[in-house]
Amino acid sequence: MENLTHSLAGWQIGQLGFARGVGPRAGLVGLVAANLPDLDVVLYAWDSDLGNWQHRGFTHSVFGLPVLALAGAAVSQRWLRTGRLRDHLGLWAAGLLSHSLMDWPTTWGTQLLYPLSDHRFSAGLVFILDPMFWLLLGLLPWLLVRRGWRPGQAATVALVSVMGWYATAGALKELAASRAPEPVAVNTAPLTPWRWTAVSVATPGSDTRRRYFLTPLDAEAAGAFQALDAATRASLEAHPAAERDLWMRVVPVVHHDHATEAGRELAVVDLAYTSWFAPDRFQFGATYLIDGAGVVVARDVAPVAGPAEPPGG
């Protein structure tokens, strides 16, 4: 989830009675706490791959959050000179936890058990940017306070409304999935929950993944793509960086596979993040050069654009 939504959620959490212990700046502390897990983006300054692979890792996990909560509570208590450590700790724990809980419903998900596991837990209910959260967490409580509601009451309504929006997205996702002509895996897309990107479920013996753009009312076929065969996947998994690329892809498929003088040029893209806005642009893709022995000798992680080769093309 983007940081404006995290900020609004943290601010509203700070209104839930924490001012009694933390003081009048409880909302600001909650805002900082709700954003702190994204501190891991500094890893991009060292290496873009490291940033991609470690984002939503330790600072988002059940093992990293307690460390951040203790450190943050100690700092805020010393800075504000108010309340007891446990007052600050409760606010930091709630703010930090809200971050991971709001990342979990996105398609990318979050590594809740890192470093024990790099599995990304994902509910796939909302797109990473959803203006509805700005309305529910920003505009709605502001209007309620202007009408005489207490900030804590308005914040409670806002946070409960967010849970209702998640439930609504889940219901619309199931309805959209029912419009597809075959079993599909449904992924969030811009304008979710009114629009979804779906891909046919992989079946034994099939080398094709079919894409659909769904709404709760209809389905639009949006191309067929070549699935990765076992030999190609093995070649990529033998290369450390390419193996992590596959880990990052939700629905990896072949965009093109060409024989060149230098070797085999293979482009692998992620169908999960494509949309009807730019169906032939694949933001998350990589192109590999594979030699005659099946070894990846070069890698380019730039976005891939243009129509994909049809299966068997």
Residue 60 confidence (pLDDT) above 70: yes
pLDDT band at 303 (very low <50, low <70, confident <90, very high): very high
Residue 255 confidence (pLDDT) above 90: yes
Of 285, 313, 308, 311, residue with least CA distance to 207: 311
> Do 221 and 276 meet the contact criterion of CB atoms below 8 Å apart?
no
Q: Hey, what amino acid is at 118?
A: D
* Rounded mean pLDDT, 216-240: 95
pLDDT band at 103 (very low <50, low <70, confident <90, very high): very high
pLDDT band at 202 (very low <50, low <70, confident <90, very high): confident
* Rounded mean pLDDT, 60-72: 97
Residue 280 confidence (pLDDT) above 90: yes
Residue 218 confidence (pLDDT) above 60: yes
Please count the other Cβ atoms lying within 10 Å of the Cβ belonging to residue 114.
20
* Rounded mean pLDDT, 68-89: 95
Q: Check residue 17 and give its pLDDT.
A: 92
Residue 17 neighbours by CB under 8 Å, 6+ apart: 152
* Rounded mean pLDDT, 72-98: 96
> Do 5 and 132 meet the contact criterion of CB atoms below 8 Å apart?
no
DSSP string, 167-195: HHHHHHHHHHHTTSSS-EEEEE-TTTTS-
Q: Check residue 313 and give its pLDDT.
A: 57
Q: How far apart are CA 165 and CA 160, in angstroms?
A: 9
Q: List pLDDT tens digits, range 104-127.
A: 999 889 999 999 999 999 999 999
* Rounded mean pLDDT, 58-86: 96
Residue 205 confidence (pLDDT) above 80: no
pLDDT band at 63 (very low <50, low <70, confident <90, very high): very high
Of 95, 163, 93, 96, residue with least CA distance to 133: 163
Residue 11 confidence (pLDDT) above 60: yes
CA distances from 88 to 19, 75, 241, 249, 272 (A): 10, 9, 41, 38, 40
Q: How far apart are CA 283 and CA 250, in angstroms?
A: 13
* Rounded mean pLDDT, 305-310: 93
Q: Of the ranges 50-54, 178-182, 190-194, which one carries the lowest mean pLDDT score?
A: 50-54
* Rounded mean pLDDT, 211-219: 97
Residue 203 confidence (pLDDT) above 90: no
Q: How far apart are CA 124 and CA 185, in angstroms?
A: 10
Q: Check residue 206 and give its pLDDT.
A: 81
> Do 186 and 198 meet the contact criterion of CB atoms below 8 Å apart?
yes
pTM for this entry: 0.93
Task: Find the farthest-apart pair of alpha carbons in the chain and give their distance in angstroms, rounded.
Answer: 73
